[in-house]
């Protein structure tokens, strides 16, 4: 967007752009979200910044009226695959807090000096400032939504000391932590009685994560159909699971709700062994549920096409299911190749017995969660006896698990689609479908084409006006009409395929072998 496009967005107070950029006013030294109800400033007094960190760097503080930190994040970090976007995904995942700028730069393949220059040029702030802004956002959420002590909030948000926590909150929000919590109580932004406590097994908190409306709840059904017993549990509207975090184990449950302001949100109850893991867990939940997507941009393109117009009207705001662990998604994708969802889930149930038992005290009603998903090392050591199916596929799964366990193969949110292709395609048993599926789930890549996907072909055949089976090459060419949102179009077609099993396309001698039948 150029200056005047952004200015028109703030002049119309368009909430669609909240979180995608901030508006700084030179005369007040305040920055706001685009939908701030304050009077629109004169164009000569306006500066636009892509991140709040850049506004901080330029000497602005957050607006106390619109709270620009209390909005979904920008979808740009999934849309873009450049160094700045990859760095932002890692910063959100806590990489700077764990390994510093040097570690962040190493993960991206740059020197610290090169990375600083890139981020300043692209985003207007360096990695330390960007990480500091992320800590401030986490601190604000904890101050306004929980009863945690300030010292616990400081370390949970990633600050190295209480003093740096106090200084940052005061500088960013022009309020002390006590004032920020008091204003939230007076405005009714937090709900009394939300669970917040500490036990020998961990700390449990309840938070509300913002999202962009509309939000289709079908992602809960997607996760329910693939839930692994003991590791995760899902119903039509609630999903919960155990997972390994950098400092210890974690658990969360999530459901759609309505925030005090009346807008949809995701209510989460989280438990972490180590409080500094909290920002990492929240970041991974946001990615899993695709909370930072721009549904109106997606639906605007897909809904304008006659083939998907009815689906978009029926299911506005469809989301991409993300991942809490990239290596887990790769293993799931390998197991799901050429078999049904039900068969893949049965294999995963057996493999779950290899996982580490949970040390977290179960939540009431969540006693079915008792172990973590197996690590690559556990799968490499014990998976041979539990895997079934063709020998080549079993061998491929075991080899990939060993490569992940030994560090010869590593996947992460810092990768691009091109990186995934370079790393995965040379491995036996991995083809373009697997790479595309991993890119869709791990990176949230919005424009993935899953060639030879049987469910995709079934969904396409069920669209209005389609007369029969479609050849994979024809489908690939036809899907280009939905670019740059082919991943979201895929979700629509998968949903349609699930409701039209009778239209499943059989393989024929003229049809290339289907790489995967399990999305």
Q: Are residues 401 and 264 in the same domain?
A: no
Task: Write the DSSP string, 67-129.
Answer: -TTSS---THHHH--SHHHHHHHHHHTTHHHHHHHHHHHHHHT--HHHHHHHHHHHHSS-HHH
Shared domain check, 488 and 355: yes
Q: Which carries the bigger pLDDT value, residue 466 or residue 312?
A: 312
| Active site (annotated) includes residue 32 | yes
Length of the chain: 519
Identify the pLDDT of residue 297: 93
**Whether 358 and 469 share a structural domain:** yes
Q: Are residues 435 and 343 in the same domain?
A: yes
Q: Could you tell me if 65 and 124 lie in one domain? A: yes
C-alpha to C-alpha distance for 441 and 495, rounded to whole angstroms:
16
Q: Between these two residues, 475 and 236, which has the higher pLDDT value?
A: 475
Scan for tokens 């977290």, then name that residue: 360
Kindly state the average pLDDT of the residues 279-298: 95
**Residue 466 pLDDT:** 82
Helix, coil or strand: residue 342: helix
Same domain, 210 and 354: no
Q: Are residues 124 and 26 in the same domain?
A: yes
Quick check: 516 and 454 in contact, CB under 8 A? Answer: yes
Structure tokens at 141: 């959420």
Q: With the C-alpha atoms ordered 116, 108, 76, 272, is the resulting torsion angle positive or negative?
A: negative
Q: Which of 418, 413, 129, 146 is nearest to 278 (CA)?
A: 146
pLDDT over 50 (residue 182) = yes
In a shared domain, residues 394 and 372: yes
Q: What is the pLDDT of residue 362?
A: 62
CB atoms within 10 A of CB 410: 13
Is the model's pLDDT at 443 over the cut of 50? yes
pLDDT averaged over every residue in the chain: 89
What DSSP character marks residue 357? B
Average pLDDT of span 372-401: 95
Question: In this structure, is residue 510 part of a structural domain?
Answer: no
Pairwise CA distance, residues 203 & 200, whole Å: 8
pLDDT band at residue 361, thresholds of 50, 70 and 90?
low
pLDDT at 114: 96
On whether both 263 and 345 belong to a single domain, the answer is: no
d(CA 396, CA 393): 5
Domain boundary among 135, 156, 189: 189
In this predicted structure, the answer to whether residue 464 has a pLDDT above a threshold of 60 is yes
Q: Estimate to the nearest angstrom the gap between the alpha carbon of 512 and the chain centroid.
A: 33
Above 90 in pLDDT, residue 481? yes
Q: What is the pLDDT of residue 79?
A: 86
Answer yes or no: is 198 within a domain: no
Minimal CA–CA distance to 21: which of 61, 76, 84? Answer: 76
Helix (H, G, I), strand (E, B) or coil at 280: helix
453 is catalytic: yes
Spatial contact of 444 and 324, defined as CB atoms under 8 Å apart:
no
d(CA 368, CA 223): 16
Q: 21: burial class by Cβ within 10 Å (0-12, 13-18, 19+)?
A: buried
Q: Which class for 391: exposed (0-12), middle (13-18), buried (19 or more C-beta within 10 A)? A: exposed
Nearest to 443, CA basis, from 407, 416, 467, 478: 416
* Marked catalytic residue, from 299, 325, 451, 453: 453
**Same-domain check for residues 154 and 260:** no
Q: What angle do CA 503, 506, 511 make, to 5 degrees?
A: 130
Q: Considering only CA atoms, which of 63, 1, 75, 5 is closest in space to residue 36?
A: 63
Give Cα 71 to chain centroid, integer Å: 15
| Domain co-membership, 167 together with 213 | no
For residue 280, name the pLDDT band (cuts at 50, 70, 90). very high
**Closest to 41 (Cα-Cα) out of 55, 57, 29:** 29
Note whether 388 and 473 are same-domain residues: yes
Q: Is residue 212 part of a domain?
A: yes
Picking from 268, 289, 310, the residue at the C-terminal end of a domain is: 289
Q: Is pLDDT of 503 > 70?
A: no
Cis peptide bond upstream of 415, omega within 30: no
Identify the burial level of 120 via C-beta atoms within 10 angstroms of its C-beta, where 0-12 means exposed, 13-18 middle and 19 or more buried.
Answer: middle
Number of folded domains that form the chain: 3
Say if 310 falls within a structural domain: no
Interatomic CA distance for residues 353 and 109, integer angstroms: 37
Supply the pLDDT for residue 235. 87
pLDDT (mean) for 177-184 = 88
CA atoms within 13 A on the CB side of 53: 22
Coil/strand/helix, residue 468:
coil
Predicted local distance difference test score (pLDDT) of residue 435: 96
pLDDT in tens, 89-121: 999 999 999 999 999 999 999 999 999 999 999
pLDDT of residue 452: 85
Q: Tell me the two tokens of residue 223.
A: 């996760």
* pLDDT at residue 71 tops 90: no
Nearest-angstrom CA–CA distance, 255 and 450: 29
Q: CA separation (Å) from 444 to 329, 410, 490?
A: 12, 17, 13
CATH number of the domain to which 141 belongs:
3.40.10.10
pLDDT at 305 over 90: yes
Q: What is the pLDDT of residue 128?
A: 95
Higher pLDDT, 375 or 180: 375
Annotated catalytic residue within 2, 11, 32, 82? 32
Structural domain contains residue 312: no
CB 332 within 8 A of CB 235: no
Residue 291: both structure tokens together: 């909370």
Helix (H, G, I), strand (E, B) or coil at 49: strand
- Does any domain span residue 299? no
Please report whether residue 318 resides in a domain.
no
Q: Give percent above pLDDT 90 in the chain.
A: 73
Name the pLDDT band for 263 (thresholds 50, 70, 90): confident
User: What CATH number should be reported for the domain holding residue 284?
Assistant: 3.30.310.20
Using CA atoms, how far apart are residues 60 and 102, in angstroms rounded to an integer? Answer: 28
* 142/454 Cα distance (integer angstroms): 45
Boundaries of domain holding 278: 203-289
Domain boundary among 261, 289, 317: 289
pLDDT of residue 506: 33
Lowest-confidence segment of 13-17, 183-187, 343-347 by average pLDDT: 183-187
194 confidence band (pLDDT: 50, 70, 90): very low
What pLDDT shows up at residue 176? 92
- Partner residues linked to 207 by β-bridges: 268
> Which residue in this structure is represented by tokens 């039509």?
236
Does any domain span residue 160?
yes
- Tell whether the model's pLDDT for residue 193 goes beyond 60: no
């Amino acid at each position: 967007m150029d200056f005047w496009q952004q200015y028109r967005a703030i002049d119309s107070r368009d909430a669609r752009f909240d979180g995608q950029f901030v508006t700084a006013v030179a005369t007040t030294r305040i920055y706001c979200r685009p939908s701030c109800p304050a009077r629109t400033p004169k164009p000569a007094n306006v500066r636009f910044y892509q991140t709040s960190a850049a506004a901080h760097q330029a000497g602005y503080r957050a607006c106390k009226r619109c709270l620009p930190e209390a909005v979904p994040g920008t979808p740009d970090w999934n849309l873009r695959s450049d160094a700045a976007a990859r760095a932002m995904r890692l910063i959100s995942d806590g990489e700077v807090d764990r390994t510093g700028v040097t570690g962040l730069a190493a993960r991206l393949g740059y020197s610290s000096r090169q990375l600083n220059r890139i981020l300043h040029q692209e985003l207007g702030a360096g990695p330390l400032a960007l990480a500091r802004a992320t800590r401030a956002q986490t601190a604000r959420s904890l101050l306004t939504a929980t009863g945690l002590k300030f010292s616990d909030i400081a370390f949970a948000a990633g600050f190295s000391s209480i003093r740096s926590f106090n200084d940052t909150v005061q500088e960013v929000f022009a309020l002390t932590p006590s004032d920020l919590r008091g204003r939230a109580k007076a405005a009714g932004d937090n709900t009394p009685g939300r669970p917040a406590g500490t036990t020998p097994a961990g700390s449990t908190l309840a938070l509300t994560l913002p999202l962009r409306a509309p939000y289709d709840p079908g992602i809960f059904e997607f996760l329910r159909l693939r839930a692994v017993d003991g590791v995760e549990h899902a119903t039509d509207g609630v999903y919960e699971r155990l997972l390994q975090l950098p400092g210890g184990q974690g658990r969360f449950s999530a459901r759609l709700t309505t925030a005090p302001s009346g807008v949809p949100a995701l209510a989460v109850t989280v438990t972490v062994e180590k409080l500094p893991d909290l920002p990492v867990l929240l970041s991974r939940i946001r990615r899993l549920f695709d909370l930072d997507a721009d549904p109106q941009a997606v639906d605007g393109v897909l809904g304008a096409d006659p083939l998907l117009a009815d689906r978009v009207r029926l299911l506005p705001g469809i989301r991409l299911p993300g991942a809490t662990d990239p290596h887990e998604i790769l293993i799931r994708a390998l197991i799901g190749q050429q078999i049904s969802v039900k068969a893949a889930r049965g294999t995963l149930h057996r493999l779950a017995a290899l996982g580490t038992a949970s040390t977290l005290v179960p939540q009431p009603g969540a006693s079915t969660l008792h172990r973590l998903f197996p690590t690559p090392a556990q799968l490499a050591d014990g998976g041979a006896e539990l895997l079934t199916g063709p020998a080549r596929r079993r061998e491929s799964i075991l080899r990939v698990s060993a490569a992940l366990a030994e560090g010869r193969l590593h996947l992460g949110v810092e990768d691009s689609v091109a990186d995934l292709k370079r790393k995965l395609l040379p491995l036996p048993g991995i083809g373009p479908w697997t790479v595309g599926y991993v890119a869709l789930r791990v990176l949230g890549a919005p424009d993935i084409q899953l060639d030879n996907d049987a469910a995709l072909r079934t969904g396409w055949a069920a669209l209005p006006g389609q007369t029969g089976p479609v050849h994979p090459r024809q489908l690939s060419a036809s899907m280009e009409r939905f670019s740059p949102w082919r991943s979201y179009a895929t979700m629509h077609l998968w949903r349609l395929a699930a409701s039209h099993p009778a239209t499943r396309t059989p393989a024929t001698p003229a049809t290339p072998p289907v790489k995967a039948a399990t999305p």
